[in-house]
Structure 1
């Protein structure tokens, strides 16, 4: 059986980066704490740390152990809270991974129904690159992942892609930049500065290809993995930027920009990726049903 005292010591050393600082926090002698960590490693049969002088760095096994340990202690804290309140504040935990290229307003619109469910739901959102989120889902640390593309066909992770909807693309700019554009759309984009979503986004390749077909050459002045950062640069007047029509009204109101044109020839698609073919988590079903019921209606 797992020794939870040793697990607590391990987490403390991992967070502090060494035995000395952890021993001060735990009010233990460094020699005692070091011995406890060695006993823990011997019991598990793996090295959790690489020792470099006083510095202790986690091994791959140590990083995996830390992720599980933090979840164990979080669950323990939740249990204690529930018991202290007589079980009156029970909730369902729903852990969602959000690919960093998914627009924030789209993610909010997709997940908002979760907070309106009859059950009390604690929504935990984790943003990262799609590949890392799928790895987290594979070890059951995420219940689902939101992405702008289905699971890569080359991945060996078991999962299923559920289409949520798709949207045409609009081009936005500050009012000052929009006034400088000449001619009808899309010819008005010729030689203008463009802010391009990063290489993980489906728009990274689709948008330049569409411009080429129109015979238009824009000046790519920046590429952004984070969609919110791209919009912040757009708000500052650095260039035009694309958004899914489904989030157009939210983006225009929030960033004080305006639409200069739109096309249905470029499509942004959104997917719910789950470890199961049929959605069994009630919150995941709520996301899917809400999206299919009309979130993307009128989005082009």
Structure 2
């Protein structure tokens, strides 16, 4: 692979951000033909197509989106370098790159990560959300400092990392007042009632289904959600009952108008921090670990697991 031409990369970045070669040309004070030629040369150099034409518009290819992601970080770092050189007295901002598995409830993620912005040491927080396997791949090449997940490091992944338990919280079931009918108590009121089930990537899903069987209730599953925020939005609209960690239940009730209809102490939402180091000394990561206990998550297990 030939060395990267950063002039080509900047032209590509400008076209991707502007949305067209014509707009990018105006910003670069170049002719559209010149910019188009630079993009063509860049594609030939790296061996992939970065744009595809859809009608009169240019859209990024999958490879183009990946290159844009790297370009954003490269030029952001360049801007930071210029600022630091222009103002040597300014404090150095240390980045904290956190991956958050999309199975982790958003209220939980916010409670854990927010304290990193309140440290005496300036911190620039970079959050990435996605599936756990993809985030762990980013961690393995040091593009992330830590990953917050609802399960420990899977044993079938060839990733050198360590699992640190952040704690656990029992589940509670919530529902919009419009759902409550009859005089059945909990959990019988869930029988044949609409229910919003966590998706297959969410660790508590299997336990929740087994719990339904043990209680001999058969909710009517009306939706499955990998994204907890989307599930909560449907719950706010009264589409069905849904489960959240007890530690954030009050926040969810205030935001959605849903009410707690019952507690499920047999099932716990577990939280883990996965890092490339056995013992992390990064002050922001230490703050996140402390925030878990302050957020109502009871410490469970020992950390430092391979």
TM-score, scaled to structure 2: 0.84
- Structure 1 counterpart of 2:273: 272
Q: Matched residues in 1 for 2:246 and 2:143: separation? A: 32
After TM superposition, give the deviation of residue 56 of structure 1 in Å: 7.7
Give the aligned partner of residue 139 of structure 1.
Answer: 141
Q: Are the counterparts in 1 of residues 100 and 127 from structure 2 also a CA contact under 8 Å?
A: yes
Distance in structure 1 (CA, Å) of the matches to 2:51 and 2:6:
23
Bigger mean CA offset, 1-10 vs 214-223: 1-10
Q: Are 1:290 and 2:253 counterparts?
A: no
Among 116, 119, 126, the residue aligned to 2:118: 116
Q: For the structure 1 residues 298 and 188, does the alpha-carbon distance in structure 2 shift closer, same or farther, using more than 3 Å as the test?
A: farther
- The 8 Å contact of residues 49 and 59 in structure 1, kept in 2 or not, is answered as no
Q: What's the counterpart of residue 304 of structure 2?
A: none
| Consecutive unaligned residues in structure 1, runs of 5 or more | none
Displacement of 1:284 after TM fit? Answer: 1.2
SS of equivalent residue, structure 1 residue 135? helix
Aligned pair in 2 of structure 1 residues 24, 277: CA closer, same or farther (>3 Å)?
same
Superposition RMSD in Å: 2.8
Shift of 1:166: 0.9
Q: Which runs of 5+ in 2 are unaligned?
A: 301-306
- 2:176 and 2:62 map into 1 onto residues whose CA distance is 48
Match of 2:165, SS? strand
In structure 1, what is the Cα distance between the partners aligned to 2:21 and 2:235?
A: 47
User: Residue 97 of structure 2 corresponds to which residue in structure 1?
Assistant: 95
Change (3 A) 1:37 1:119: same
Query: What's the CA shift for 1:35?
Result: 4.1
Distance of 2:50 and 2:4 partners within structure 1: 22
Q: In 1, distance between residues paired with 2:299 and 2:140?
A: 35
Contact 2:43-2:50 within 8 A present in 1 as well = no
TM-score (norm 1): 0.85
* Cα deviation, residue 25, structure 1: 3.9
Give the number of aligned pairs: 295
CA contact (8 A) 1:47 1:59 kept: no
1:216 is displaced (CA, Å) by 0.9
Question: What residue number does 1:49 align with?
Answer: 49
**In 2 relative to 1, CA 141–192 (structure 1 residues): closer, same or farther, beyond 3 Å?**
same
Provide the C-alpha distance between the structure 1 equivalents of 2:112 and 2:59, rounded to a whole number of angstroms: 42
Cα displacement string for residues 173-221 of structure 1 (whole angstroms, at most 9, x for unaligned residues): 123323x253332222211111111221112222111101111111111
SS at match of 1:280: coil
